[in-house]
Amino acid sequence: MYQKIVTYGDSILRLPSQPLIITDHFDDLIQSLFDTLSQNRGIGLAAPQIGINQRAFIINTMLQAKDDSSVEKVQAAYINPEITWYNKKEHSFNEGCLSIPGIYENVVRPSSIHVRYLDASFNEVEETLYGIKARIFQHEYDHLEGILFVDHLHPLHKILIFHKLKKLQNNCNKHTK
């Protein structure tokens, strides 16, 4: 089911999320993340962005891969993820976030990572991620820690977008239960 996306300024985005305990509602949560992401034509969405502070996110690049064959096809859920290794080699990439509409900035992050997580069938998976998959994983993982991509910008750079952020904060979609 489609859910409203929580936007910049809502304290839900700043809370560290709790480990996800598998319950009957689990499938609904994952389905809501996929429905909400495709409705907004995004490539990744974390549970706190729909108002649920639990450690789960999804990646879905199928829409973008259809238009651009260089985009790796990924359609997966990541439950209780961990990043166990970061490559020292870093890479800059232009990021955006459905919770911070209208702002796109270059963010420097490790170019590859080792990760561990449960997949949608609760199988434990360990793998090394590269490219777009490593990038989206790190962005979404940050959401589970209450970190947003604008936090990674240089302070001088942040001053340049200060007014845009302030405006978003004032108009924020407060999550109401």
Q: Rounded to whole angstroms, how far apart are CA atoms 141 and 76? A: 14
**CB of residue 123 to Zn ion, shortest distance in Å:** 26
| Interface stretch with Zn ion, choices 73-81, 91-99, 110-118, 165-173 (CB under 5 A) | 91-99
Name residues contacting Zn ion, limited to 100-159 (CB under 5 A). Answer: none
Q: Choose, by CB under 5 A, the member of 13, 33, 97, 115 that binds Zn ion.
A: 97
In the bound complex, what is the minimum distance in angstroms from residue 124's beta carbon to Zn ion?
A: 25
User: Among the options 126, 127, 140, 145, which is catalytic?
Assistant: 140
Q: What is the 3-state secondary structure (H, E, C) of the chain?
A: CCCCCCCCCCHHHHCCCECCCCCCCHHHHHHHHHHHHHHCCCCEEEHHHHCCCECEEEEECHHHHHHCCCCCCCEEEEEEEEEEEECCCEEEEEECCCCCCCCCEEEEEECEEEEEEECCCCCEEEEEEEHHHHHHHHHHHHHHCCCCHHHHCCHHHHHHHHHHHHHHHHCCCCCCC
Q: Which is nearer to Zn ion, 20 or 97 (CB)?
A: 97
Closest contact distance (angstroms) between CB of 44 and Zn ion is 7
Can 127 be counted among the known catalytic residues? no
- Give the nearest distance from C-beta 139 to Zn ion in angstroms: 5
Number of residues that bind Zn ion (CB under 5 A): 1
Stretch that binds Zn ion, among 28-36, 67-75, 93-101, 121-129 (CB under 5 A): 93-101
Q: Which residues bind Zn ion (CB under 5 A)?
A: 97
Q: So which residues are the catalytic ones?
A: 140
